[in-house]
Amino acid sequence: MPDFQNEEKTGTLEITAKKERLDKIKKVITEVKRHFIPFNDLVKAPASLKYADYNLMWNRDAAYSSYYITEFIVNAKKTNLYGLLSEEIDELDNLNGKLVATLWENLDAEIKKIKMNGYETDISKLESKLGDNHILSRFDVDENGVKRTENDKKEGKTTRSWTMQYDSAPLIIMATERYFQEHGKNGLKTIDKKIAKNLDFLINYMYNFHKTPCADAWEQYYFYDIDNTLNGQNYVGKTIDSYMVSSLYKGIKSAKELAKTFNIKLKDADESEISNFLLDNFIVTDEKRGAFLAKSKIEYGEIMPSIGAEEIEIFNTFKLNVVEQIEENTVKIIENELFQGDYLPIRYRFFGKYAGVTDTYFGRGSWFHLGLQYSMYLIKKDKKGQAENIINYIESKIGEDGSLPEQEIYDRNRVNDINGFFERNGNSTINCLLWAETAYLAAVSNFIN
List all residues 6 or more positions away from 333 whose beta carbon is below 8 Å from its beta carbon. Answer: 288, 291, 307
Q: In this structure, is residue 75 part of a structural domain?
A: yes
Q: Which residues pair with 367 in a beta bridge?
A: 407
Please state, in angstroms and rounded to a whole number, the distance separating the CA atoms of residues 388 and 394: 10
pTM score: 0.83
Query: What is the reported pLDDT for 349?
Result: 83
**Residue in 321, 430, 312 with CA at minimum distance from that of residue 378:** 312
Does residue 9 lie within any of the structural domains?
no
Which pLDDT value is given to residue 41? 78
Residue 258 lies in a domain: yes
Residue 25: which CATH number?
A: 1.50.10.10
Count the domains in the chain.
1
Q: What is the mean pLDDT of each run of 10 residues along the chain (449 residues)?
A: 43 56 97 90 86 77 96 96 96 95 84 58 38 36 47 43 60 95 85 91 78 43 38 45 85 94 86 85 66 65 77 91 84 91 88 72 78 97 96 96 88 60 69 95 96
Is 2 a member of any domain? no
Q: Which residues pair with 42 in a beta bridge?
A: 39
| pLDDT at res. 350 | 81
Contact 164, 136 (CB under 8 A): yes
Considering the domain boundaries, does residue 376 fall inside one? yes
Its domain, for residue 279, covers 15-448
Cα–Cα distance list, 382 to 118, 375, 392 (Å): 49, 10, 17
By CB atoms closer than 10 A (0-12, 13-18, 19+), residue 183 is: middle
CB contact at 8 A, 244 and 167: yes
Give domain status of residue 293, yes or no.
Answer: yes
